[in-house]
Amino acid sequence: MENDGKLVFEAETLKAVPTQLNFWRGSIYPCDNNKFIIANFLDLRPQDNVGSTVCRYELVDTNTVIKTEIEIIKVRLYDPEKLKTLLHEIGFNQIKMVKAFNLKQIPTQEDEVIVYECGK
């Protein structure tokens, strides 16, 4: 990283844990030519501050499933102050925390996502 460079990223906080766990939810997304995608998601209980979501996508053509894909998405959840301490420990001395989608405000205890802007 350049001396005047910035590392900018967003991190999900412990408040990002879904309220309904082990419960399938889904949506339908229309495609071309009588096709659509059925997307189903299952949020699992976080373990060691890592949340997991099972995602199942089915491509349907004329009421027949023609392809299924499954993926598991894992997201580490952070306590904002602990993450700030970790950033200091690895050499970042300029750390700015801002509210996601409103970079002019500081985050609150209830924010699920925080944007970090870090410099050395």
Find the angle CA(117)-CA(119)-CA(120) to the nearest 5 degrees: 160
Residue-level pLDDT at 66:
97
Q: What is the pLDDT of residue 87?
A: 97
For residue 88, being part of any structural domain is answered with yes
Q: Is residue 1 part of a domain?
A: no
With respect to residue 43, please indicate whether it lies within any of the assigned structural domains.
yes
In a domain, 96, yes or no: yes
pTM flag (> 0.85): no
Does residue 86 sit within a domain? Answer: yes
- pLDDT given at position 2: 81
pLDDT at residue 111, as a whole number: 95
Round to whole Å and give the CA distance between 68 and 43.
19
Token pair 């509210």 is at which residue?
99
Query: And the tokens for 25?
Result: 């939810």
Provide the domain limits for residue 67: 7-119
Question: Tens digit of pLDDT per residue, the chain (120 long)?
Answer: 788 899 999 999 999 999 999 999 999 999 988 899 999 999 999 999 999 999 999 999 999 999 999 999 999 999 999 999 999 999 999 999 999 988 889 999 999 999 999 998
The confidence score (pLDDT) of residue 3 equals 80
Q: Total domain count for the chain?
A: 1
Q: What contacts 24, CB < 8 A, 6 or more positions away?
A: 40, 41, 42
d(CA 100, CA 105): 9
